Every structure is written in structure tokens, then in C-alpha cells.
Structure 1
């Protein structure tokens, strides 16, 4: 099918302790609050033209509100909405004006696991800047990873309905396939799907300027006393660096850099055995991957499944 999505825009989280989360993301994590409105905060990455990469919403229950992707034109938004309707996908809204910073034209729908996905075009670009040498704050949003209890069904859904393509898979002799890396461009993945016991957010990843800045950032977050789950290291699939931390509400967030760019015409997906230590971490610098580490990112059961966020 034609690929109508262009890039990952933002990930929106609902949180009971709004102030604590806002302090974390706008403070130690290095995002910039650019707008706020009655218990909602929009947080941008200084190096990104996106109006915001994280939205926080004050709520009684923790949930993933939505994942937002870009499209090239309003016509592509309309085309995608018509395709999804004809394929029986449940739309939350029809294409129309987007009432968030930067405006635009978009719509929302549920994926097969009940997550809210938004697709938009014509969002005004934000004035952003070049991130300087040794500046250890996120340049942009890199990717999002989602837990799914039925990995292959969810992968197939994203391939069939949204034009994602498989880049690589992680597998092991005892657990079978546990993660699919999916792309909508030559970037190795903008989304990955992880095998989890329930539908939930696995992690949100933020790109730093380079290796030095990634290490400075990892150290800065560690010194701030934030709980590190795993890293620093370098994955084999995607060839990107990783340092995983927990935000105050137990969502996993990652600093990364140097995610692989593929030649899509010649690329063939690999199946990597993640029980081999060099698959999870080529460098050998991270704490070993274990069931305990893996369970940290199962997250809580998402209360937002097939329930559209109020805003």
C-alpha cells in the first residue's frame, strides 16, 4: 500500500501527579514547556520543528492518551481516513481542524489494541534551534515502543492499515518472537511492538545530538537520582545507543542516538536472538538484560484502551 505517514510527531500521557511529571520532563529530562492550558502541558524538544513531542494531561488514572503521526498533506489525511473506514477501523473523529498548538488538519482512530492514534498534516513548524556540542538535551522524538499481548496481530494491523514495514525482529529459543521494529521511512524504526502481558506503553525514546551528548545526558539524569533500568549500551537491531530510565509515574523513557538509516530497496529483516548478549548490547557496558529488567517496561495495564482521551 502507499505510505501516507511521514514521521512520529508526539506521544501524549495522562498522569495523576501532573506537577511531578511536569517537573521531570521540563527539568531533568530537558524538554521545554511551550504552552499550557488547565491541566495540560505541551513540551517541545529544542532541536525539533514539532510544536511538541510530549503532552501531559492531569487525570485520575495513568494512561497513554495517544500516539501522533504526521502526513504530508490534508489530502493524504483524507485518503487515509477513507481507507481506514473502508477497512472497518473504528474512527474516533473525522478529518478536520486540529485544536492544539500549531493547528493543522487531522483525525483520530483506534488501533487493534484500542490505542488512540492521531494523524495530522499542515501543523505549523515551531521555531527551533541547533543543539550545541555537549548540550545534553533531546534534539527530537526518536521512536515509541508499545506493549501488545498479540504481537503478530498488531504488527499485521500496522502493516496493512498504516503502511509500516518490518525492519527487524528480536526472538529467543524459549520465548519466541518478542519485538518487531517497524518503519515508515529509511529510519530503522519509529515504532516497535513488544510482547507484553497487556496493552500498555513500553517506552518513549528521545534522540540526542551525538554520542558525547548522549553520555553527558545519561550522566546528568543519573546524577539527578532518576532510576535507571538499563544502559548505557548499544543495541544491534537499529545500531542505536540506549539508556533507559523511569519517569515519576513508572513510564520508561530512553535517551538514544545514532539510530540506523536503511537502504529500503535492499534491506532484508533480520531475526536476532536476544539471548545472545551482543544482540541486546554490542558494547557490553549495560547491565545484563534479564526478566527483571524486561518486566520494568511492561508498565501498568493501560486504562485508556478503546476509550478516547477527552482532549
Structure 2
């Protein structure tokens, strides 16, 4: 099968951590998501402007880890065909295609990626009722994208291209080294996944779309007024043309408010960016400097759950 148009979007990201209650409070009371369900110790959070049943799931664990990265595909037949192809390619499945029991149900397969992350691909998930956000509402409308770190980034990029059909649309370089690969799926959004060149396997950041630039700035300002450290921003990346403001959740994972990401048409050409040009990082020139504090936050701590399936 051809995987080029297999993945339609990013559905949700799951985190596990010791400080569950602090995380629940952060994502609901501060970040602006809505806790919609709890089942068997897993808490599910939706974005008000998204039809996805949930965009973040949280679970208590003694170790800090990214539990799952979930992507959507169009049909159950895609899930079955993907599972068959992955097994032929020697990819380790966590479970075969089956009915899913999380909010929204659906039909999906779970597997380990090259670095040992848990990846889920699902179809036929029932949408939730959602609403159009009002002007000025400074809460996430939907999940935008996630970025992962790998100490073997080119191999990880190659794996996502071959196994899940992602395509590299842009790379960022500095002094001859490639630091980031941005990858699209069948959705026209510039990227839904990126791979960073990092010292260890970890989540780089998870990004949430705001209604617009005004709501983005209101959200960044709201969190700062509440005493949350703005790690980097507010600015606007040349790559993807999206606004950025980075914070940390209660477990130390970096999360981003964003808005305005560019959309790709049917005809596009992969590009490169040189990070020695400050406009590549921030075309507005309004952000604080990209330095050690930002890099430390984006490197995160090593994922403690590699090649270990979560209990749920």
C-alpha cells in the first residue's frame, strides 16, 4: 500500500507523570482545555473548538513519559492495511487493529516507532459536539502539531516517511547541522509533526491552535499574568508562518499556543531555513532570544517509557 495520504491529522497526545492532580489543574484551569471524562485512572481533555473527543490524556505513573501519540486515518480498511504492512516491515505492534474503548471509540492499531514511542493510528472515531470560539476567547481551539526529539533524527524521519507516509516540507540548519525536520500529512497544514535533533528521546513540545492572533496574544498574556513563565515568545516563526508562545506544564513538558500556520497547496517544494538568520526564528522580532533556557526546555527530560506499552 502507498502511505502517502494515510494520516489525516493529529488526534491526541497522552502524558503520564507522578503529579497527576497538578497536571489536571494546569490543563483545565490554566491552559484552557475541558476535562470531559475519566476512565480507569485516565483523564481526558477536549479543546472547545475541536470535534476530537479529546486532545490530551493524562495518567498517573511513577515515571514521566509520553504515553501515546495518536493520528487519524480515513477508514478502518486503512488501519488494517497499515497493520499488515507494518508487520511485513518488522515494526513491533503493541496490539492488532481492534475496537477502542476511550471516549469516541473508533478502530485502531498501536505500535512502537523507531525510538520506542507509542503511536496509535485510528479511524471511525465518533466526533464530540464542539463550538466556534468567540472573539477574544484565549483558550485552545484545537490541537495543532507535536514535535519529538531523537538522538538519531534522520533515521526517525525516514521511519515516519516510510511507515506512516509523512513528507518533509522544511528543514532547519545551523553551521552545517540539521536541527529540525518538519513533516506534513494529507492535511494541507504546513506540518503536524516535526523531529528535532536532541540528546535523548523525549517530547519537544505539543502545540495548540488558538482562534486567531488576537486570541493567541491574549492567551500568552493571561498565562503571564497568572505567573507562568513564558519560555520563548511571543514571536512568529518563518517556518510555517505560525505565531508561538511556549510554556511548561506541571510535569515540565513544553506546550505552545500558536495561530496562523500556513497551508500547503497541491504543488509544493521542500525548503530549507538557516537559523543564523534571526528572521527564520522570529519574523516579527518581538520574541526573547533563543538560547540555553529555550533549548533546555525543548530538550525536556528523557522519556522513561520507551518500548513499554502503557497499561491503557
Q: Give the TM bin, normalised by the shorter chain.
A: over 0.9
- The one-character-per-residue Cα deviations of 1:197-218 (angstroms, maximum 9, x if unpaired) are 0000000000000010000011
CA distance in 1, matches of 2:109, 2:250: 30
- Map 1:280-295; keep pairs closer than 5 Å: 280-295=281-296
Secondary structure of 1:107's match? strand
Partner of 1:299: 300
The alignment's C-alpha RMSD in Å is: 0.9
Contact 2:91 2:112 in 1 (8 A): yes
Shift of 1:296: 1.5
Which residue of the partner structure matches residue 208 of structure 1?
A: 210
Write out aligned runs for 1:107-256 (5 A).
107-173=109-175, 176-184=177-185, 185-256=187-258
* 1:38 Cα deviation after fit: 4.2
* Residues 1:257 and 2:294 aligned together: no
For 1:256 and 1:290, how far apart are their aligned partners in 2?
Answer: 20
Shift of the 182–213 alpha-carbon distance from structure 1 to 2, 3 Å rule, reads same
Give the whole-Å Cα distance in 1 for the aligned partners of 2:27 and 2:192: 21
How far the C-alpha of 1:37 sits from its partner, in A, is 2.5
Which residue of 76, 84, 87 corresponds with 1:85?
Answer: 87
SS of structure 1 residue aligned to 2:301:
coil
2:72 paired residue among 70, 73, 85: 70
- Length-normalised TM-score, structure 2: 0.97
4+ aligned runs moved over 3 Å, structure 1: none
Deviation at 1:125, TM superposition (A): 0.5
1:272 is displaced (CA, Å) by: 0.5
1:59 to 55, 61, 72: 61
SS in 1 for 2:23: helix
- Structure 1 portions without partners, runs of 5+: none
The aligned length equals: 309
Partner SS for 1:154: helix
Q: TM-score, normalised to structure 1's length? A: 0.98
Counterpart position of 1:22 = 24
**Contact 1:277–1:288 under 8 Å retained in 2:** no
- How far apart, in 2, do the equivalents of 1:109 and 1:38 lie? 22
Question: 1:297, 1:264 → 2: CA distance?
Answer: 32
Aligned residues of 1:18 and 1:39 also touching (Cα < 8 A):
no
Quote the residue 1:44 is aligned against: 46
Q: Identify which of 94, 104, 107 aligns with 1:105.
A: 107
The CA deviation string for residues 280-307 of structure 1, in whole angstroms up to 9 with x for no partner, is 0000100011133212111111011111
- The separation in 2 between residues aligned to 1:269 and 1:279, in whole angstroms, is 15
> Is the 1:107–1:120 contact (alpha carbons within 8 Å) kept by the matching residues of 2?
yes
Q: Distance in 2 between matches of 1:240 and 1:47?
A: 18
Indicate conservation of the 8 Å contact 2:99/2:107, yes or no.
yes
1:23-63 per-residue CA deviation (whole Å, 9 max, x = no partner) reads 00011100000001343210000000000000000111110
- How far residue 264 of structure 1 moved from its aligned partner, in angstroms, is 3.4
- List runs of 5+ in structure 2 lacking aligned partners: none
Work out the CA distance in 2 between the residues paired with 1:124 and 1:39. Answer: 22
Alpha-carbon displacement from aligned partner over 1:51-85 (angstroms, at most 9, x marks no partner): 00000001111100010001111111101111111
